[in-house]
Chains A and B, each alone.
Chain A
Amino acid sequence: MLKETKHNARAAVQATEQLQPKTVEEAKRVPAQAHYLFQQLKSEFFNELRDEKSISGETCANIEQWLAQHDLSKLNALNEAAKQHFLYEGITFTVYGEDEGIERTIPFDVIPRVIAKQQWNKIALGSAQRVRALNLFLHDIYHDQEILKAGIVPAQQVLTHEAYLPQMLGHHLKGGIYGQISGIDIIRDREGEFYVLEDNLRTPSGVSYMLESRKISQKLMPDLCQSNHVLAIEQYPQLLKQILAESAYVDNPFIVVLTPGRFNSAYYEHSFLAREMDVPLVSARDLFVENDKVYVRTLRGRQQVDVIYRRVDDAFLDPLCFKADSTLGVAGLMSAYLAHNVVISNAPGTGVADDKSIYPYVDKMIEYYLNEKPMLKNVPTYQCREHNALEYVLENLEKLVVKEAQGSGGYGMLIGPQASQKEIELFRKKLLATPHAYIAQPTLDLSVCPTLTHDGMAERHIDLRPFVLSSPLRTEIVPGGLTRVAMQAGSLVVNSSQGGGIKDTWVVDTRRN
């Protein structure tokens, strides 16, 4: 019986190959009505695959034609094949608080999200600009605090922030890079304008899903990927390795990925990145500190560690410095770090820059540090800590999205237009009790992308998380990112922990097309 199950699983994976479509040339011979598949989705929102100004008509036509040559059951079989592939490879994540077991796959939608290269350039430049400013901000608040003295960002908000680490005061980092890896969450509004929804600088996750989405797309629709000149993203792990190496204090550094372990929701990603970079995946028990140097226990004896790509939160990094009962960290690690004997990436204390209550000041940071205009817009944000803002938010809860300033994963959110009166009243009480812990934003009409459902093609809201890599020498972004999709009709919550799915993100060089 077990052999049969194993056979079935393998067969499901092999099915991806059997279901591969015909060539694009063949696809072009399908009926003309195929061209109108996407246009049938009459949307009140900005439809990413009908962005005629920037995406080449040919790219969309190719995708439509490809879709048209498969009936719904075949297309759903492709999505199912992707699910089986993820299950087989163990590409899974954990949702906290679930009893049903450790593994859950993320829903994958076979219809890609397409971004024209010209549009991508705007995203890439804008994201890089933000990250440069955020790194300068972090350097500043841990050194001269000029921006605080100038009153551009309220000093109290920064210095009393729980992610602000006094241990980092005066500590100089190579090139002033605090966040080697940043994820910038971007959305498009009704007009297709790009907005940054939030910056993620602590331990941004999801890049493995970006890479796996591409892998499965190439498996399911190889001709389509090839014929549309989709820009490559596969170089990300090696680029990450180079960026980490460039941040080290020594040549040819020994790099490790530090994971909290297999119970962490992103354990798959930790092991994936370690394997792809060909560096050890370590947990706290593998590391020790002696004379302010970090070592890893290997079969051939101790090996000094030069760079730690940590996927452990600040509070757990070093029990001698932070949470004394942490078993996920390494005693003495901060001491070694402050002695410049090891690089921790991202740097401890970066969390203060990606807090939702600091986010409203990023535009000003860009102007202050870079003397440039922000290339990407911020979503207007009400800081509930401010009296007038709080009053406005309380009066307009039905229209606004309220978020915890330090929340993530779509938890602790109120989406006013979709909330019940009871939920609204609950948030009213929370806001009155701890206003400083919340921000509010207008409900944006997130763009949509055609998405396969069991009933056919339908529009679903999406966002985008490109990953910015920074070293003292350069800033790099692979052309793509994690497109998250709210799988429920009308839902604006794209987080995987809340049932969101993913799409492959195609940055297409339309000029080549």
Chain B
Amino acid sequence: MILLSSNAQQIFWLARYLTRVQYLCSQFPFQADDTAKKYANAFALGEHDAASLNTLVQDPHHFASFAQQFSCAKDNIQDLRGVLSAKSYAELNQLIKNASENSLDICDVVSECHEILEAEAQDIFLFFMLGQYVEQLDRQLRLKQDTQVTLNQLDQVIDLLTQLGWSGVKAAWQQLHILPNSINFYHFSDHIQHLFEVDV
């Protein structure tokens, strides 16, 4: 079946939110004030020491909390119901339904969601990987971490997407690949959104 642009976009954002939550899980609870401050600054959360950042990410009403970000992933899963295999949907639905707003529950669920989605059809999985790596790159640029491995992974995914017929992404990618910085990243990210939303 032909994948709709909106479905590709939902898969992309599902991957981004799951990856975002997964990284937060890997850092939580923040122990060192320095690390917390760096994280908070990178994601424009204001000034926070470890204790207050831990409180913030557990506040279900805050946009940067486990609960809110996981909720975005849940919405995408529901929107993808007509696309995911019945088995994958059932497994994901079961996971997300039982996950409370508790951060530990969510962290457990997120890694299992990853495993389930990796078993989906190739085009679905390609957009899932695109979302995963774009989220990783975004974070690495914000936190000034090494981007090389992610750039290589993204390069491979972009090649596969081009082979799939999604070639519009290539030019913006070249620019980011050559000069990986925040401005080029935003340009690339906007370009992807544009491709999802316009008639290509």
Contacts and interface: CB of A to CB of B under 8 A. Distances in A.
Given A262-B79, A286-B4, 6 more contacts: A9-B94, A259-B82, A274-B82, A282-B4, A285-B6, A299-B164
B63 interface: no
A388 B183 CA distance: 77
5 contacts: A90-B89, A295-B199, A299-B8, A300-B165, A301-B165
A298 B98 contact: no
A279 to B, nearest CB: 7
A298 B98 CA distance: 33
B200 A2 contact: no
B81 A297 contact: no
Contacts of A301: 165, 199-200
Interface string B98-114: 11000001001100100
A445 interface: no
Give the bracket for the number of chain A residues in contact with chain B.
Answer: 35 or more
Interface residues of B, number: 33
A369 interface: no
Interface of A: 1-3, 5-6, 9-10, 87-90, 103, 257, 259, 261-262, 267-268, 270-271, 274-275, 278-283, 285-286, 288, 295-303
B2 A2 contact: no
Contacts of B8: 299
Contacts of A9: 94, 98
Q: Is the interface of B mostly helix, strand, loop or mixed?
A: helix
A270 B198 CA distance: 25
Contacts of B6: 282-283, 285-286, 297
Contacts of A5: 98
Interface in B67-93: 75, 78-79, 81-83, 86, 89-90, 93
Nearest to A300: B165
Nearest to B195: A299
A3 B109 CA distance: 8
B190 interface: no
Contact of B90 (A3, A88, A282): A88
Interface in B113-135: 123
B73 to A, nearest CB: 14
B5 A299 contact: yes
Nearest to B99: A2
Nearest to B107: A2
Nearest to B82: A281
Contacts of A281: 81-83
Given A298-B2, A298-B3, A299-B8, A90 B81 contact: yes
A272 to B, nearest CB: 8
The 7 A-B residue pairs with the shortest CB-CB distance, nearest first, are: A281-B82, A271-B81, A271-B82, A90-B93, A297-B5, A5-B98, A262-B78
B1 interface: yes
A243 to B, nearest CB: 20
Contacts of B157: none
